[in-house]
Amino acid sequence: MTSDQAVEKLEQFELATENAKDDLLRVQAEMQNLRRRTQQDVEKAHKYGQEKFAIELLGVVDNLERALAADGENDESDEGASAVNEGEKIKAIYEGVELTLKSFADCFSKFSIEVVEPHGEPFDPELHQAMSIQENAEVEPNTVIAVMQKGYTLHGRVIRPAMVIVAKAPVESADDDS
């Protein structure tokens, strides 16, 4: 083997070594990226694992809020002691529903479930679901004028959009020009 051949072989080995080092660095970087993605996936699974459970609870909260909205409408009669007793029962039920709703709100807060109630805000299709559009000259077009059902987020991710009514500009009628 001549010295030129030996130098050429050495250069080939050095090139092969350099390529192997590059390949090793790429594999190490790929493994680090894979670890990071896997860790993010695990964090998301922990963070959003209760999403289905939370969605189921929303219906319960809605029903409790509707019960509170009734606000003891049966207190109209004044028929002596039985009416007072009936009123006290209704008041006790109302207070119980209030406390239950408060405990739900505390639970939601603990698990980062937040209410989306956008009344008066601009319509955002990421957070709101438009159920209807109404003409309204009193507010800017594309503003939420009524909330039919609150929306909720879990750690900032929408788990139920708010169902809303959105304002639009009133249509000018042809009769106004005369």
Q: Where does 49-155 have alpha helices with state H?
A: 51-70, 80-110
Question: How big is the CA angle at 39 (ends 22 and 31), to the nearest 5 degrees?
Answer: 15
Query: Which is it for strands 162-168 and 128-135: parallel, antiparallel or unpaired?
Result: parallel
Q: Report d(CA 62, CA 65) in Å as an integer.
A: 5
pTM above 0.85, yes or no: no
pLDDT tens, N- to C-terminus, the chain (178 residues): 788 888 899 999 999 999 999 999 999 999 999 999 999 999 888 888 888 888 878 888 888 887 777 665 544 444 556 666 788 888 888 888 888 888 888 888 888 899 999 999 999 999 999 999 999 999 999 999 999 999 999 989 999 999 999 999 888 765 555 4
Is the Cβ–Cβ distance between 170 and 136 less than 8 Å? yes
Retrieve residue 46's tokens: 């922990």
Burial 8-22 (b: 16+ CB within 10 A, else e): eeeeeeeeeeeeeee
**CB within 8 A of 67, min separation 6: which ones?**
94, 97
Is the Cβ–Cβ distance between 143 and 121 less than 8 Å? yes
CATH code for the part of the protein at 114-172: 2.30.22.10
